[in-house]
C-alpha cells in the first residue's frame, strides 16, 4: 500500500496534465507549494523518475525518486529514493549567488548518474527553498533563486516555469506530517492513531499533529489550524512554523547577536561555552566571533537560563501534546546521535528528560571539552528548553527519533506529492 501511494510523486512530476492542476475555485493551503502546470512528453517506458531539491538553511538536499509502471492505467509504484546533500545551504551564499547555484549543479550530477540518459528529457526537476532563504532580504533571495533557475535551464532535465521558489514554513510541517504518517501506515483506513512531528532546522522549527480533543481546537490560536482532504478523509491539523527558533538561529539569540547592530570586532560570550574558547562562526553569510565567559558561573544552570530567555512565553503550548506520540528529526536527531543517545543508522526512542540529562552531563563538564561541536552544551540545553518550556512537553513524553521510515527520508518532499494527487482531476 505504501508503494502505491508513494507513487503519487509521479503524478506530480510526470502526469500529462497540461491544464492547471489546482481546483482554482477553492482557496487551499497548498497554493504555491506545488507546480502550477506541467506536461512532460509522453511516457511509454515502465521506469520513471522525479527530482526534488530541498534547499534548507544548513544544506541543500536532492531526492531522486524512481517509479515503475507495473499496470497500464494505474499508478506506478515507488521503487526507491536516492538522497544526497551538500553544505552549507544556499543562504550562506547571500552575496555570491552564482557560487550558491554551483552547489545545486553539484547535486544535479547525482541525478545524472542515477537516471538513464534516455529519461533525462522527461524527468522534471524542482527546488523548494525553506527557512534559510525566507530570512534573507527578498532581493538577495530572488537573486539566488534566479541563478539556480539558470542552472536548471542548462540541465538536460525538464524544467517547469515555476520550478524554483520559496516554500511557506507552515507547509513544511504539514507535508512532513503526511510523509511520516503515510510511511508508518497511519493514514490507511480510518484510524485516528496518527503521530505528530517535530522538525528542528537551522532557522526554523515546526510542530504538527492531529488534535483529538475539541478543547484543543477551541483554544488554538488563529492561523494554527488547517483543514484538507486526503485519502477520502478530512484532516484538521494543528501546525505552526516558528521562524527564528531553529537551532542555529537560537544560537545567535542566545549569544545576543540578533540584538546587536554590527558584529565586526565584537565577541559574543556565553556560559554555555568553555571559558577558554575563542572562535568564529559563519551563519547566513555573516561571520561572528564568540567564546566563553571570563568570569562567573558556567555549566548547565547558567546556560539553561540563557536559552530559556529565547523560548519562554514565545510559543503556544497545547495541553494535548503531553498525551500524544511524536516523531522528531533533523537537529533533534543529529544532537542525539552526536551524544550517543541513539544509533546513527537506526535512530531510537527517547524521552524529553533524556535531552535534559545529557545537557547537564555535557554542560557540567565544559572544561574537559576536547572534541565535537563547541555549541553542543548550548544546543542540548536549547532543545531541552524548546521542548519543555517552549512547546510544553512533559519530561516523560516519548519521542521517536528517525531519519528514514521504510528507507525513505522523512521531511516534506515526498509528502508534497500525496496532497497534490488529491487536487489532480485525473481518472485512474
Domains of the chain are: 47-167 (3.30.420.40), 170-247+307-405 (3.30.420.150)
pLDDT of residue 69 exceeding 50 = yes
**Once rounded to an integer, what is the mean pLDDT over residues 174-190?**
80
pLDDT of residue 38 exceeding 90 = no
Residues paired with 241 in a beta bridge: 206
Q: Which cell is 209 given?
A: 499533529
pLDDT score recorded for residue 16: 29
pLDDT of residue 273 exceeding 70 = yes
- b/e map of 23-33 (b: 16 or more CB within 10 Å)? eeeeebbbebb
pLDDT score recorded for residue 405: 83
pLDDT score recorded for residue 24: 26
pLDDT of residue 83 exceeding 50 = yes
Which of the 8 DSSP states describes residue 381? Answer: H
Percent of the chain whose pLDDT exceeds 90: 50
3-state secondary structure of 239: strand
pLDDT score recorded for residue 220: 93
**Once rounded to an integer, what is the mean pLDDT over residues 207-229?**
91
Distances 332 to 234, 335, 338 between C-alpha atoms, Å: 30, 6, 10
pLDDT of residue 86 exceeding 60 = yes
pLDDT of residue 426 exceeding 80 = no
Q: How confident is the model at residue 74 (pLDDT cuts 50, 70, 90)?
A: low
pLDDT score recorded for residue 76: 52
More confident residue, 279 or 407: 279
Q: Is 7 annotated for ligand binding? A: no
Report the C-alpha gap between 275 and 288 in whole angstroms: 17
For residue range 193-216, list pLDDT tens digits in order: 899 999 998 889 999 999 999 999
For residue range 117-133, list pLDDT tens digits in order: 999 988 878 898 987 88
More confident residue, 131 or 181: 181
pLDDT of residue 79 exceeding 60 = yes
pLDDT score recorded for residue 417: 54
Percent of the chain whose pLDDT exceeds 70: 79
pLDDT score recorded for residue 23: 28
Q: Is 192 annotated for ligand binding? A: no
pLDDT of residue 370 exceeding 70 = no
pLDDT of residue 422 exceeding 50 = no
Report the C-alpha gap between 39 and 254 in whole angstroms: 48
pLDDT of residue 342 exceeding 90 = yes
Spatial contact of 428 and 17, defined as CB atoms under 8 Å apart = no
pLDDT score recorded for residue 159: 82
Short-list 307, 2, 29, CA closest to 173 = 29
How many Å is the maximal CA-CA distance in the chain? Answer: 72
Q: How confident is the model at residue 262 (pLDDT cuts 50, 70, 90)?
A: low
Phi-psi region of 284 (alpha: psi -120 to 50; beta: other; left: phi over 0): left
pLDDT of residue 412 exceeding 90 = no
Q: Is 384 annotated for ligand binding? A: no
pLDDT of residue 101 exceeding 50 = yes
Q: How confident is the model at residue 188 (pLDDT cuts 50, 70, 90)?
A: low
Mean pLDDT, rounded, of the chain: 81
pLDDT score recorded for residue 73: 54
pLDDT score recorded for residue 9: 36
Q: Is 96 annotated for ligand binding? A: no
pLDDT of residue 135 exceeding 60 = yes
Q: Is 143 annotated for ligand binding? A: no
- b/e map of 189-202 (b: 16 or more CB within 10 Å)? eeeeebbbbbbbbb
Q: Count other C-beta atoms under 10 Å from residue 370's C-beta.
A: 5
pLDDT score recorded for residue 200: 94
Residues classed as catalytic: 172
Spatial contact of 52 and 72, defined as CB atoms under 8 Å apart = no
**Strand (E) positions, 73-135?**
77-86, 125-129
Report the C-alpha gap between 219 and 239 in whole angstroms: 14
pLDDT score recorded for residue 51: 87
Report the C-alpha gap between 57 and 93 in whole angstroms: 11
Distances 277 to 26, 268, 294, 367 between C-alpha atoms, Å: 56, 11, 10, 10
Q: How confident is the model at residue 263 (pLDDT cuts 50, 70, 90)?
A: low
Amino acid at each position: 500500500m505504501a508503494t502505491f501511494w508513494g507513487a503519487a510523486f509521479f503524478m506530480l512530476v510526470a502526469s500529462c496534465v497540461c491544464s492547471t492542476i489546482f481546483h482554482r475555485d477553492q482557496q487551499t493551503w497548498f497554493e504555491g507549494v506545488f507546480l502550477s502546470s506541467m506536461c512532460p512528453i509522453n511516457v511509454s517506458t515502465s521506469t520513471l523518475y522525479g527530482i526534488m531539491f530541498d534547499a534548507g538553511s544548513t544544506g541543500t538536499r536532492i531526492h531522486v525518486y524512481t517509479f515503475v509502471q507495473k499496470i497500464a492505467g494505474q499508478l506506478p509504484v515507488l521503487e526507491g529514493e536516492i538522497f544526497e546533500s551538500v553544505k552549507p545551504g544556499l543562504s550562506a551564499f547571500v552575496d555570491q549567488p552564482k557560487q550558491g547555484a554551483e552547489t545545486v549543479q553539484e547535486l544535479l550530477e547525482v541525478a545524472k548518474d542515477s537516471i538513464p540518459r534516455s529519461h533525462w528529457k522527461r524527468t522534471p526537476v524542482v527546488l523548494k527553498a525553506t527557512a534559510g532563504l525566507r530570512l534573507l532580504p527578498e532581493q538577495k533571495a530572488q537573486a539566488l533563486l534566479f541563478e539556480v533557475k539558470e542552472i536548471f535551464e542548462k540541465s538536460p532535465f525538464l524544467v517547469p516555469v515555476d520550478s524554483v521558489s520559496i516554500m511557506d514554513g507552515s507547509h513544511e510541517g504539514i507535508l512532513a506530517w503526511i510523509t511520516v504518517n503515510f510511511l508508518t501506515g497511519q493514514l490507511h483506513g480510518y484510524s485516528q492513531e496518527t503521530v505528530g512531528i517535530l522538525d528542528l532546522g537551522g532557522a526554523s522549527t515546526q510542530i504538527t499533529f492531529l488534535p483529538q480533543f475539541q478543547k484543543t481546537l477551541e483554544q488554538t490560536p488563529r492561523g494554527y489550524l488547517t483543514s484538507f482532504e486526503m485519502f477520502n478523509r478530512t484532516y484538521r491539523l494543528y501546525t505552526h512554523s516558528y521562524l527564528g527558533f531553529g537551532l542555529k538561529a537560537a544560537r545567535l539569540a542566545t549569544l545576543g547577536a540578533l540584538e546587536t547592530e554590527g558584529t565586526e570586532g565584537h565577541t559574543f560570550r556565553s556560559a554555555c561555552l568553555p571559558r577558554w574558547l575563542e572562535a568564529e562562526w559563519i551563519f547566513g553569510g555573516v561571520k561572528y566571533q564568540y567564546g566563553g565567559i571570563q568570569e562567573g558561573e558556567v555549566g548547565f544552570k547558567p546556560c539553561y537560563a540563557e536559552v530559556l530567555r529565547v523560548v519562554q512565553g514565545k510559543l503556544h503550548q497545547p495541553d494535548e501534546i503531553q498525551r500524544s506520540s511524536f516523531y522528531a528529526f533533523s537537529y533533534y536527531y543529529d544532537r542525539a546521535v552526536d551524544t550517543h543517545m541513539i544509533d546513527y543508522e537506526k535512530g531510537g526512542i527517547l524521552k524529553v528528560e533524556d535531552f535534559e540529562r545529557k545537557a547537564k552531563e555535557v554542560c557540567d563538564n565544559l572544561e574537559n571539552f576536547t572534541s565535537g561541536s563547541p555549541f553542543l552544551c548550548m544546543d542540548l540545553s536549547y532543545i531541552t528548553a524548546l521542548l519543555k518550556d517552549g512547546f510544553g512537553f512533559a519530561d516523560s513524553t516519548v519521542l521517536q527519533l528517525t531519519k528514514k521510515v521504510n528507507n525513505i527520508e522523512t521531511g516534506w518532499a515526498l509528502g508534497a506529492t500525496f496532497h497534490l494527487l488529491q487536487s489532480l482531476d485525473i481518472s485512474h
